Structure 1
């Protein structure tokens, strides 16, 4: 690979082509691989060199792929067993009433933070939100701001594919990135609640007919909270052992670096046993893997385009451009996250592309790996909810919203995302 030298023009053309094809609805994996191939040829590579670039790039993401496959066990248990629904219902029931927006945002944040995908988290909490909104007279726009904002906050502190990818792109443990995102996440939660509270009576309300339908379709056989918490508590405790050991100066704990590859499947299986769902473990694993498969395929494609960019002069050119403009290299990380997630309308895909394609350039500006990972990750939440992605439409359908109302939420979602990105930049770019 060292002998292969690709022009930065080819790398940029390949990346631009891949993004354009994604926007035209070609499967992201094919779009990314095709972009890598075309970019390689434009950059001056021959047939054998293009193959070498593709193989090297896809091999570089295998660590991330296997961790995401392992995380599917945990995600499957949380989603399919009803545990996530139990946790969400408990939070809303306890806070409810005048603290409705906080309870809804917090519920979505928590169940996303414990490993449930953000669109699934919104689907789980949406019926509860609509029921609360009907009783309190709140608008659907405000309700979705609370759910989506809380979900974004939870997503940057979760063992979800986006966090695993952000960690893997900078050679970090996933728990380091989860902890690093905690302060930005709390700010994001606060902004989501404030915005939702300010606009809670503005916009379309939940109708009586919708409320009646919710009553008919409400799920009553959810597991008890004590059992639902087993899997996430085990996962969080085990993931925190090494960081806590480092903070306390306990070398034994600090050196006990148990990877999420082991922790998440273990927590999921123990959680299934606690739920009394031993016979369902295989089904949970299958369901979890099925949910992870689209992300895994995207990562393989992202590895291909990342291999192209790594083999090119683009990282060096980006660093030179940053230095020439006098802009701090700190801003390259969040900008990469914002642009890639905005182009693909996906937090996971944005984080994967930003770290896989620009990690070298970001680190070459002198930014520390953890700072780079957190800033890139939070940047990926700013405009990842645009209409050309699935999240926009999944959440619109979950809330029974018109396209006009759903578009109104986009700006408020971006305000939550930009808040988290700014806090991350201030904290990790200038303070720490």
Structure 2
């Protein structure tokens, strides 16, 4: 690609719009993104060869994130397939008891999402427990799903999941930096979850015996690992991820210079945890399951890289900066807004973060926003309305709780309030107070 080529901003915007519209029309997201990138580049003045070069440049730019997402698949596969996540969830609910039922369910979903399990899978794991508790305590399905979804959202922004990896790598940060930055927003999101879930305890459909006759989304009965062994994988991962930040904080040169990347840490933690659970003979099975779950994310990353390259090759970032300056709106708000809009368009946290960082990172940083602040605000913005009906999450969670579309749709507003709580917290802390 010619270094002097600059695509017209309006063409890049049309390309992005085409990609989003196609995704909303249920066209494969990867092809939607690549097609949008091609159209945007060609309309913007690139010739056929330059367009291909832009696409290749864009796909190459996301390879670092792709490798780390694949590494995360190893950890996710072990946590999900071994039963470790089930053990942790049941232990939390049992220890806290019925008196703190909604808190226990929200916390359980938060924890197992935070240790690397995908949020839809986390809800599938905890849903059967929630139905049991709900029937016993006479709590509505609406309240229960708010507890699970809100807890999952809180855990998702502090997890080594693809969305957090994308937020970190989109702004050239360490994964642990973003996880730590989003901790306070996650805690406040959890608090809001518990508050709303308790308000809705008697609202909506109650659980009946029929809910237990329907096909369950939970895993078939298996011999679950003990709590001590189930905790090994997440504890090893968290401890190793925190070594570098701790070294920087305490000025310990050895730890500061260690540079243990998630690419090494996550598979290593998964292997150690598998051995601790005495399931070393299943490591290939867990790895295969994990990588299968990451395949869609990796493909979307490649597609998002192409549309991101089309946008960054254009003068759209400069135009956005000029527009915001003219309107006298704080440029800080571009970070959370880009996360909200892209996640809403794709109905996916991961895809939303990938699109927002790939398309708007240059413009966001152009306002003097620090990379860490930008990552935290984009990331928390992406959990505001990522639960819309054109995405997989909406339907997976509805089936998990045996809810029809109308009843599931009632949750969207409350889930958005939980996401807004995290986003506003991150924006105040990092955007305006500049911590």
TM-score range, shorter chain: over 0.9
Are 1:401 and 2:394 counterparts? no
Q: Following the alignment from structure 1 to structure 2, what is the Cα–Cα distance between the partners of residues 348 and 61?
A: 13
Report the TM-score, using the length of structure 2 for normalisation: 0.98
2:152 corresponds in structure 1 to: 151
Question: 1:12-63: per-residue Cα shift (whole Å, max 9, x none)?
Answer: 0000000000001111000000000011111111101101100111100000
Give matches, 1:61-72, under 5 Å.
61-72=62-73
1:370 corresponds in structure 2 to: 372
1:89 corresponds in structure 2 to: 90
1:108 corresponds in structure 2 to: 109
1:218–1:261: structure 2 CA closer, same or farther, 3 Å change rule? closer
1:212 Cα shift?
5.8
1:3 Cα shift?
1.8
Question: What are structure 1's unaligned runs of at least 5 residues?
Answer: none
Q: Following the alignment from structure 1 to structure 2, what is the Cα–Cα distance between the partners of residues 182 and 175?
A: 11
Question: What are structure 2's unaligned runs of at least 5 residues?
Answer: none
**Is the 8 Å Cα contact of residues 241 and 265 (structure 2) preserved in structure 1?**
yes
**Is the 8 Å Cα contact of residues 125 and 219 (structure 2) preserved in structure 1?**
no
1:418–1:216: structure 2 CA closer, same or farther, 3 Å change rule? closer
Report the TM-score, using the length of structure 1 for normalisation: 0.98
Q: Following the alignment from structure 1 to structure 2, what is the Cα–Cα distance between the partners of residues 419 and 159?
A: 21
1:126 corresponds in structure 2 to: 127
Aligned CA RMSD, in angstroms, stands at: 1.3
1:311 corresponds in structure 2 to: 313
Q: Following the alignment from structure 1 to structure 2, what is the Cα–Cα distance between the partners of residues 164 and 62?
A: 12
Are 1:40 and 2:45 counterparts? no
Greater displacement, 102-111 / 213-222: 213-222
1:97–1:220: structure 2 CA closer, same or farther, 3 Å change rule? farther
Are 1:380 and 2:382 counterparts? yes
1:272 corresponds in structure 2 to: 274
1:218 Cα shift?
6.8
1:211 Cα shift?
3.7
1:73 corresponds in structure 2 to: 74
1:210 Cα shift?
2.2
What is the DSSP-based 3-state SS (H/G/I as helix, E as strand, rest coil) of the residue aligned with 2:225?
coil
Give matches, 1:273-288, under 5 Å.
273-288=275-290
**Is the 8 Å Cα contact of residues 134 and 211 (structure 1) preserved in structure 2?**
no
Are 1:345 and 2:347 counterparts? yes
1:426 corresponds in structure 2 to: 428
Alignment: residue pair count: 432
Are 1:247 and 2:261 counterparts? no
Q: Following the alignment from structure 1 to structure 2, what is the Cα–Cα distance between the partners of residues 245 and 388?
A: 44
**Is the 8 Å Cα contact of residues 6 and 45 (structure 1) preserved in structure 2?**
yes
1:216 Cα shift?
11
Question: 1:268-295: per-residue Cα shift (whole Å, max 9, x none)?
Answer: 0111111111111001000000000000
Q: Following the alignment from structure 1 to structure 2, what is the Cα–Cα distance between the partners of residues 220 and 106?
A: 23
What is the DSSP-based 3-state SS (H/G/I as helix, E as strand, rest coil) of the residue aligned with 2:410?
helix
**Is the 8 Å Cα contact of residues 165 and 351 (structure 1) preserved in structure 2?**
yes
> Which of 332, 351, 354 is equivalent to 1:330?
332
Q: Following the alignment from structure 2 to structure 1, what is the Cα–Cα distance between the partners of residues 282 and 224?
A: 15
Greater displacement, 83-92 / 212-221: 212-221
Q: Following the alignment from structure 2 to structure 1, what is the Cα–Cα distance between the partners of residues 302 and 194?
A: 37
Q: Following the alignment from structure 2 to structure 1, what is the Cα–Cα distance between the partners of residues 220 and 95?
A: 19
1:218–1:79: structure 2 CA closer, same or farther, 3 Å change rule? closer
Are 1:223 and 2:247 counterparts? no
Question: 1:179-210: per-residue Cα shift (whole Å, max 9, x none)?
Answer: 00000000000000000011111110110232
1:351–1:334: structure 2 CA closer, same or farther, 3 Å change rule? same
2:173 corresponds in structure 1 to: 172
Q: Following the alignment from structure 1 to structure 2, what is the Cα–Cα distance between the partners of residues 380 and 217?
A: 29
Q: Following the alignment from structure 1 to structure 2, what is the Cα–Cα distance between the partners of residues 128 and 255?
A: 44
